[in-house]
Amino acid sequence: MADPLLRVEGLVRRFGGITATDNVSLDVARGELHAIIGPNGAGKTTLISQLTGHLAPNSGSVWLAGRDITHMPAYRRCALGLARSFQITSLLLDFTAADNVALAAQAHDGHSFRFFGDARKERRLRDAAQAALRRVGLGERAHVPASKLSHGEQRELELAVALATHPQLLLLDEPMAGLGATESARMVKLLQELRREVTIVLVEHDMEAVFALADRISVLVYGRVIASGTPSEIRRNDEVKRAYLGDQHVVVRHDR
């Protein structure tokens, strides 16, 4: 097998007495959509934050395309092609949708110690932004301030921002969180298109979406990976049933 795009080895992160990430190892192959599921408090966001560099692990290592990035700050990982969306929408709310995306494009277009020319008039950045916005269906909303967008649109904008950095690997932390049924369906459709272009690690509560999208699924419980495999393998796995699906009955959609 070729080198995986993302390799996580023996990752451990403790908060006081709690081990939020307990010796996690996983591989994500180039081109696959790898979902990470687990009950609330399983340590999914903690894991994602260590992949993006917002949180340092106590031990273990993270490799991106054969390169050790364990101790690299977030902005440098991003330069290597790692982009993320946040579980709780995190945008520049007083900027327009186009500005949000154009800044992401700018971040990957050399340094920004340019003090004079009007950045909002740079065609290259604006075109890239417009393309990413159109990609997620926000082409018509480019000039709306991010704060004025609906929640569903903000989730889509998060995705456009991540796409504008031309990532090799997209880490999506619950992109469906708080979306209604129609918005969720739109997001699933969008992800189905995107997965053809980019490797995705998807953390999601929405089981229907996960089983529809994922090539492989890793199940996280109390910080440990208890199973990893194709959707049908996971569905048949006894330990998963016991630890995850069994206790809470079959979780099809999470409560709203």
Partner 1 sequence: MKIELNVRNAVSALVVAGLVLLPLYSQLSGNIFILTLFTRIVILALAAASLNLIMGYGGMMSFGHAAYLGIGGYAVGILAQEGFGSGFLQFPIALAASALFALVIGALSLRTRGVYFIMITLAFAQMAYYVASGLARYGGDDGLTIYKRSDFAGLINLGNRVQFYYLCLACLLGVVLLIWRIVNSRFGLVVQGLRSNERRMQAIGFPAKRYQLVCFVIAGTLCGLGGALLANNTDFVSPAVMYWTRSGDLMVMVILGGMGSLFGPVIGAVVYLVLEELLSQITEYWALIMGPLLLFVVLFGRGGIMGMLGRLSRG
| Secondary element (H or E) of residue 133 | helix 123-135
CB nearer partner 1, residue 115 or residue 181 = 115
* Binder of partner 1 out of 46, 52, 184, 237 (CB under 8 A): 52
Question: Distance between CA atoms of 85 and 79, rounded to whole angstroms?
Answer: 15
Beta bridge partners of 203: 36, 173
Single out the residue of 3, 15, 58, 79 in contact with partner 1 (rule: CB under 8 A): 79
Q: Give the nearest distance from C-beta 251 to partner 1 in angstroms.
A: 29
Q: How far is the CB of 160 from partner 1 (least distance, A)?
A: 11
Tokens of 229: 């495999």
Q: Which is nearer to partner 1, 45 or 106 (CB)?
A: 106
Nearest-10 Cα torsion for 15, 199, 206, 173: 40
Contact by Cβ (8 Å): 150, 186 = no
Give the burial class of 75: count Cβ atoms within 10 A of its Cβ; 0-12 exposed, 13-18 middle, 19 or more buried: exposed
Token pair belonging to 120: 């909002």
Q: Does 56 bind partner 1 (CB under 8 A)?
A: no
| Contact call for residue 78 and partner 1 (CB under 8 A) | yes
Q: How far is the CB of 125 from partner 1 (least distance, A)?
A: 8
Question: Exactly one of 2, 94, 123, 250 binds partner 1 (CB under 8 A); which one?
Answer: 94
CA dihedral 232, 235, 240, 244 (to 10 degrees): 130
Contacting range for partner 1; rule: CB under 8 A; set: 7-15, 103-111, 195-203, 208-216: 103-111
β-strand partners of 154: none
Q: Which is nearer to partner 1, 59 or 90 (CB)?
A: 90
How many CB atoms are closer than 10 A to CB 54? 15
Is residue 123 involved in binding partner 1 (CB under 8 A)?
Answer: no
Q: Which is nearer to partner 1, 171 or 221 (CB)?
A: 171
Residues 155 and 89: beta-carbon distance below 8 Å:
yes
List 3, 31, 59, 112, residue binding partner 1 (CB under 8 A): 112
Dig out the tokens for 86 from the structure.
């946040």
Q: Does 59 bind partner 1 (CB under 8 A)?
A: no
Q: Is position 104 an interface residue for partner 1 (rule: CB under 8 A)?
A: yes
> Could you list the residues that contact partner 1 (CB under 8 A)?
52, 54, 73-76, 78-79, 83-84, 86, 90-95, 99, 103-104, 106-108, 112-120, 122, 161, 164-165
